[in-house]
Amino acid sequence: MPGKLKAKIVAGRHLPVMDRASDLTDAFVEVKFGNTTFKTDVYPKSLNPQWNSEWFKFEVDDEDLQDEPLQITVLDHDTYSANDAIGKVYIDIDPLLYSEAASVISGWFPIYDTIHGIRGEINVLVKVELFNDLNRFRQSSCGVKFFCTTSIPKGYRAAIVHGFVEELVVNEDPEYQWIDRIRTPRASNEARQRLIFLMSGELQRKIGLKVLEMGGNAVVGYLQCFDLEGESGLVVRAIGTACTLEKLSSGSGTHTHPNTAPASNACNSPSKDGKESPLAHGCRSTHNSPVHSACSSQRLSQNFSVSVPTLIFTGMGSGSMGKDAGPLKTLLRQQTQTALEQREFPFFTLTSFPSGFLLHVGGVVSARSVKLLDRIHNPDEPETRDAWWEEIRQEIKSHAKALGCHAVVGYSESTSICEEVCILSASGTAAILNPRYMREGCLDLGGSDQRFEDPSPSSCGFCHIPYDELNMPFPAQLTYCFHCRRQKVPDVLFTTIDLPSDAAIAGKGCFIQARLCRLKKKGQGEANATAISNQLPFMEYELHTQLMNKLKLRSMNALFGLRIQISVGENMLLGLASATGVYLTALPAPGGIQIAGKTPGDLNTEQHILNIQKRINDTIAKNKEFYEVNPPDLTEEVVGSPIPEPRLRSRLFRSHSESSDELSELDLSHGKKDAFVLEVDDTDAVEDIHSLLTDASPPKGFYSCNTETMPGIYNWTSALQMFTSVRVLRLSNANLSNQALNKVFTDLCENLLKSFYFKLRSMIPCCLSHLVFSVAVPEEDLIQVAVTAVAMTFDKDQTQEKPAEKPITKGCSEAEDQLQFSLELCTDSSSINSQSSSKNSGVPESSHLSTRDRCSTWLELLRLKAHTIRRGSVKTSRRTQSLAHSVSSLEHSSPLTEGRSRSLRSSRSFGGSSVSVVKMTPLSFLPGTRIVKYVGIINMFFIRETTSLREEGGVSGFLHSFVAEVFAMVRAHVAALGGNAVVSYSMKDCVLMENPNKNQCQCLINVSGDAVIYIRETDQEVTGSTANIGLSCTSSADGAT
Amino acid sequence: MAVELDVFVGNTIIMSEEVYQLWLDGYTVNDAVKVRMEGGVLDEFDAKVDVVLSDTMDQYRTFQMCERLLHSPTKLANQLLFQIPPHRQATLIERYYAFDDVFVREVLGKKLSKGTKKDLDDISAKTGVMLKSCRRQFDNFKRVFKVVEELKGPLVENIRQHFLLSDKLARDYAAIVFFANNRFETGKRKLQYLTFQDLAFCAGQLINNWTVGAVDNMVEDMDVDLDKDFLQELKELKVLITDKDLLDQHKSLVCTALRGKTKCNLNLSRGLVNIATKLTNTKDVRDFFIDLVEKFIEPCRSDHWTAADMKLYLTHYTNSAHILDTFKYQVVWDRYMGVIKSCIFKMYHD
């Protein structure tokens, strides 16, 4: 008997009136776990019952502890008829199963009913006594910690990063079972909620088992999603990165990077020999059956399950071919590959890494596949879905290989379902990682093994191309890195990860979004799927062009946190790409945008073109000023004349290579800024220009980004406001053209942003961080956009300063000089290595391309467009102009008074004390605070339904209160775990179905995050402060009505 | 292109005090948007109508959801649905329970019943306060009345504790409850010149000196009902006008004290004493204020007394009674005249 679960029902408050005659309620509580149910006594005639029950004890397997939630039902006793349910609380026991997390769950939980929403609160105490179980064949994975955070959690260091873990479980959706016809909506909703709780518990347990198998103790970047496939079932799937985490001594603060932390050198393995096989644990999926075995249950034949080839984003341009393949790079690649290739999927869901982990970034890789759904016949064998994902992951893997990379970071998966069509998408960033982290033992960066030391300075190293210049996977313009002048860099870099903390940038970042709406014919089955999959490459291409143009318009050269979502509806496809643009000083300055007319001579057109050109140039200038993008002078110099210094260095570097002079000259000439040429006769271009110019920049004092931190802002103050916004637009005119539709969609997104700026204007100067947009087509003619983000204030006076710990451009180049010696040592082997590497990578790549003929047309398109790129030059001579913030004189009160860290046990309230403040943020940190403990993962799923939509204020009123209720329930659970904040919060799903004619509406929301305890950075003591933040008068009895 | 749904929810409540006031004042969303746009504060932000509309809608919905909680403000502090910083909670409550003086002046002393509620449209038309706002204010009065009605202890304190109001507002509510309970007549044309603050001050005086609570502070309704025993004792003051000797003596004392300064008119004395002796009658209690005006303030005014004259007169009138050796009801006299004096001071406008 591995565990004993104990629960105590203390009291209730604010219960609804269940007996109209007496205006009171006779409440009692049922506590259920697994198949065991206990009941409290009836507390008669009270809206604030004090049950103060005994401890209900459940003796259960730890497997059940992981799978099952504790289910608490509050009922109204009725002598003559059936007892009426007031509502339920589901409590996830999982956080009690780790040794370091919460030891008790205790607090007020909102009593939730799927029809009425929150109906009062209940105070509950839950404890678990876990017995040690040494059974090796156990099915549970208690003790494996889960984090939503996509970086190494604060206060921990990653001893080993094992790699990718994935799992999915399927079941029938209760909503579509026959019994649903005869049961009440409430019963159906509850069945669904409970099932999903169970499934996600099971999923987490199974993933935990895999992690244990690999030797890890935690999952970081845990991403769990639901696919509501309707008739064909319900899929819960999750991916994550298995790690072995070690807790840092509590003394080290937030800013302590794992590398500076005291490392245990005891286990320093002799890793000098790169060939020595690291890690025996491979990440193995349990369902590894070949695709075809599942074909019988798959209605769609293989011919039609078209996988759309990846967009390998890395910018366009006529390729310059250099012969130099960084010798070190090759060496490194070989060594790391051995470590990584043993893994089925060298994927990492992390988006930011300890410094030194990420060596080079290749570019974005993505794969999409359109599938037809069919009923899942046997829930115990989810092979079909597994095979689908396997296919996609293989594709991603091969794309990464084509980019000369052995790993994919910032990896994520998503789906979009409409009726029976499902688009599966996966994307990530191809990268080369430092092999040290893959191996046991050699963890500390100050390690002895110098050969593995990344030769490139960390501020620009990740920009250096990982692929072979001779066999570039796409046309790109390479130049020598503007930082170290030693390695090649692309002209533009797209990634799905966060900006590395030590990257050298100029100015601030900015939120860039490409939006696209495409009509499609309504269709059925395979024809429909084919039509969709034929459209996908064009959409990706268009989105890419838009991103490129917008990036140039802001005179930036890199995108981080790129997320492309393609959503399918019955009669349209929506594409939304969001990213944060940055000017990386290591990359060449972006060229401008040039407008050209096809029919020269026409005076009107010329004038028109001139006008547009002027507007674009003005916008670029304005943006430069706004984002404070002032690339260092050196860009100008390089463009003007080849300066001797870089050449000198490159010569030093490749003294044996005869062609070095030629090469460097060639490259420098390519350093000239190329302008994008947009031809206005082209309708697409008109549209592009239009969308370019309609994008309003945020008002003064506002910045926005979709990454964890805003590049260029470092001095956050502690005020923050997390928010969720949902907007649904009904297209009134069914016969819209693509262009009109695009405009509608663009306006929708733009207006949302404008709304945010307006609503949050009291927080200026402020930055909207982690802006996550998700689009859906819930019905024909409806477009839904849901956004979750956080607004954070910063101190505007110091925005220019970078904290001292961050490397500054100048300091970096000095450091490079010191590194040069070690670099030279390796040059001997350069020529040999470069050849072998080119062969190596050449073979898989060609096969990779040939296997996918379908993509050729699309790749050709890309090239065609690339040809239109001509040279132009836009002088970028604007100097710094500090931004003048106009601080609004409107109410300037911060929306959140700081709740001080509270002693969580003692302030846990009964009766009338006030509610403790729980902060929520989609980021992994809270500015001005230090996270001292992770108390558990939050993963909740709620359904809300109404049959009196009008009375609840229409759809908006309904959803408004539901979102507020979800926040409230998350906060309550966090507080009960002893936490005072949720980090890495995200709303995974928000599925809204309405039927205004029937006065009905249903909504499903899935949220997740990490519950934490934080303390203010200024506070020294960890706990023990019982600051009373309540109103003095709140201590009065709450029961008086 | 219709916006089918548009919500914005923050983890911490998002509200602007300006919009809250518009909501309280009963503006519809569209009118509120108009006011905000005209307000000009938004110009610097270059906000379009749709942005302001969406913001206003969100806030209106938030307020509507909060309204249920505001009905019992103590719940606001420990509810879980909204995360509201304490200072915001205080603002929400204080503003919700705030009222328009012009409106309250109309319902003061009226029975807080359905009947009165039906007249709200007339009051709204008369005062210019929007009907929605009238309803909220009226319901607030009724709610406070109902809760306080059955509680023991001091009225102001009870209101402050149960509704978490500021001291000033709690006192005003106490006055409203007091007026409603005793149904003082305040609507007559002659009383129209009195503001709510004048009457609230008088109510405060009555509560502090004439109620049961002024003597004993642990009875129900102690601050709402007038002290019956005291009212009975007031009858004894009749000697001041029925006893000829006493009357003359009193008159001469007052006149000596006032010599040369003001006219010495002891008809006023008859009026004041008559008010006192009739207070055992509920009907006459209701007419208390009208009596004060008719029997004292109006005669003074017709004689063109200044406020200073009147003060001087009342002071000497009260004090001289102490010198009368045959007058035995000094304590009752003080309790009575203390209140009368301060009420008249307040009610006598130059």
A1037 shares contact with chain B (CB less than 8 Å): yes
pLDDT in tens, B174-233: 999 988 888 888 888 888 888 999 999 998 888 888 887 776 666 666 677 788 888 888
Q: Is A301 exposed, middle or buried (0-12, 13-18, 19+ CB in 10 A)?
A: exposed
Task: Give me the percent of chain B exceeding a pLDDT of 70.
Answer: 93
Helix or strand holding residue A507 (H, E): strand A505-519
Report chain B's mean pLDDT, rounded to a whole number: 86
Q: Is the peptide bond before A765 cis (omega within 30 degrees of 0)?
A: yes
Q: What is the pLDDT of residue A305?
A: 32
pLDDT in tens, A230-243: 878 888 999 999 98
Q: Do A758 and B47 touch (CB under 8 A)?
A: yes
pLDDT at A179 over 80: no
Q: Do A917 and B7 touch (CB under 8 A)?
A: no
Chain A positions in Cβ-Cβ contact with residue B37 (cut-off 8 Å): none
Rounded-to-integer distance, Cα A606 and Cα A612, Å: 10
Q: Greatest CA separation found in chain B?
A: 91
Q: Pick from B143, B146, B205: which is nearest to B171 by CA?
A: B205
> What is the pLDDT confidence band of residue A1007, given thresholds at 50, 70 and 90?
very high
Q: Is A599 exposed, middle or buried (0-12, 13-18, 19+ CB in 10 A)?
A: exposed
**What mean pLDDT is predicted for residues A297-310?**
32
pLDDT at A603 over 90: no
Task: Tell me if B137 sits within 8 A of B97, measured CB to CB.
Answer: no
Q: Do B58 and A912 touch (CB under 8 A)?
A: no
Contacts of A842 (CB under 8 A, 6+ apart): A468, A470, A471
Q: What is the pLDDT of residue A479?
A: 81
pLDDT in tens, A120-160: 999 999 998 877 655 545 566 677 889 999 988 988 888 88
Task: Tell me if A504 sits within 8 A of A460, measured CB to CB.
Answer: yes
**What are A946's two structure tokens?**
């109404």
CA B23 to chain A, closest CA, distance in angstroms equals 16
Amino acid at A828: D
Task: Give me the percent of chain A exceeding a pLDDT of 70.
Answer: 65
CA A31 to chain B, closest CA, distance in angstroms equals 22
CA B44 to chain A, closest CA, distance in angstroms equals 8
CB burial string B296-312: b at 16+ within 10 A, e below: bbeebeeeebeeebbbb
Task: Give me the percent of chain A exceeding a pLDDT of 90.
Answer: 25
Strand partners, A226: A236
Rounded-to-integer distance, Cα A494 and Cα A512, Å: 12
Strand partners, A826: none
A200-209, A420-429, B258-267: the lowest-pLDDT one: B258-267
Q: Is A255 left (phi over 0), alpha (psi -120 to 50) or beta?
A: alpha
Task: Write out residues 773-792 of A within 8 Å (CB-CB) of B.
Answer: 782, 784
Q: Do B45 and A1033 touch (CB under 8 A)?
A: no
B330-347 helix and B267-278 helix, angle to the nearest 10 degrees: 110
- Three-class SS of residue B106? helix
pLDDT at A422 over 80: yes
The angle formed by the CA atoms of residues A629, A634 and A636, to the nearest 5 degrees, is 80
pLDDT at A49 over 60: yes
Chain A positions in Cβ-Cβ contact with residue B87 (cut-off 8 Å): 893, 897
Strand partners, A730: A782, B2
A168-177, A716-725, B142-151, B250-259: the lowest-pLDDT one: B250-259
Nearest CB neighbour to B8, from listed A728, A755, A1036: A755
Chain B positions in Cβ-Cβ contact with residue A118 (cut-off 8 Å): 80-81
Q: Do B51 and A730 touch (CB under 8 A)?
A: no
pLDDT at A580 over 70: yes
Contacts of B19 (CB under 8 A, 6+ apart): B32, B36, B55, B56, B59, B60
Residue with tokens 């009610």: B347
A224-238, A532-546, A842-856, B78-92: the lowest-pLDDT one: A842-856
Q: Do B16 and A890 touch (CB under 8 A)?
A: yes
CA B162 to chain A, closest CA, distance in angstroms equals 8
Task: Tell me if B92 sits within 8 A of B70, measured CB to CB.
Answer: yes
> What is the pLDDT confidence band of residue A719, given thresholds at 50, 70 and 90?
confident
Strands (E), chain B: 2-10
> What is the pLDDT confidence band of residue B261, given thresholds at 50, 70 and 90?
low
CA B129 to chain A, closest CA, distance in angstroms equals 25
Rounded-to-integer distance, Cα A907 and Cα A894, Å: 25
Q: Length of chain A, please?
A: 1041
A734 shares contact with chain B (CB less than 8 Å): no
Q: Do B11 and A919 touch (CB under 8 A)?
A: yes
Q: Helix, strand, coil: what percent of chain A each, to 5?
A: 30, 30, 40
**What are A849's two structure tokens?**
């391309």
CA dihedral (A594, A598, A600, A606) positive or negative: negative
Q: Model ipTM?
A: 0.88
Contacts of A193 (CB under 8 A, 6+ apart): A90, A114, A941, A942, A943
Q: What is the pLDDT of residue A383?
A: 72
pLDDT at B11 over 90: yes
Nearest CB neighbour to A968, from listed B74, B80, B86: B80
> What is the pLDDT confidence band of residue B250, given thresholds at 50, 70 and 90?
confident
Q: What is the pLDDT of residue B19?
A: 94
The rounded Cα B242 to chain-centroid distance in angstroms is 36
**What mean pLDDT is predicted for residues A168-191?**
83
CA dihedral (B113, B115, B118, B120) positive or negative: negative
**What are A746's two structure tokens?**
């663009």
A240-244, A288-292, A411-415, A455-459: the lowest-pLDDT one: A288-292
Report chain A's mean pLDDT, rounded to a whole number: 71
Chain A positions in Cβ-Cβ contact with residue B48 (cut-off 8 Å): 754
Task: Write out residues 896-955 of A within 8 Å (CB-CB) of B.
Answer: 896-897, 909, 912-915, 917-920, 953-955
**What mean pLDDT is predicted for residues A302-310?**
33
Contacts of A592 (CB under 8 A, 6+ apart): A552, A555, A616, A617, A620, A673, A675, A676, A872, A873, A874
A1034 shares contact with chain B (CB less than 8 Å): yes
Q: Pick from B87, B80, B49: which is nearest to B65 by CA?
A: B80
Rounded-to-integer distance, Cα A271 and Cα A778, Å: 54
Interface with B, mutate which of A732, A755, A974 (most B CBs under 10 A): A755
Q: What is the pLDDT of residue A682?
A: 57
B131-149 helix and B167-182 helix, angle to the nearest 10 degrees: 80
Q: Do B72 and A1040 touch (CB under 8 A)?
A: yes
**What mean pLDDT is predicted for residues B10-18?**
91
CB burial string A16-27: b at 16+ within 10 A, e below: bebeeeeebbbb
Interface with B, mutate which of A960, A973, A1032 (most B CBs under 10 A): A960
pLDDT in tens, A668-712: 323 333 445 655 555 556 666 666 666 777 888 888 999 988 888
> Which string of DSSP letters, residue by residue, matches A760-781?
TGGG-SEEEEEEEEEEE--STT
**What are A869's two structure tokens?**
């790129």
Chain A positions in Cβ-Cβ contact with residue B49 (cut-off 8 Å): none
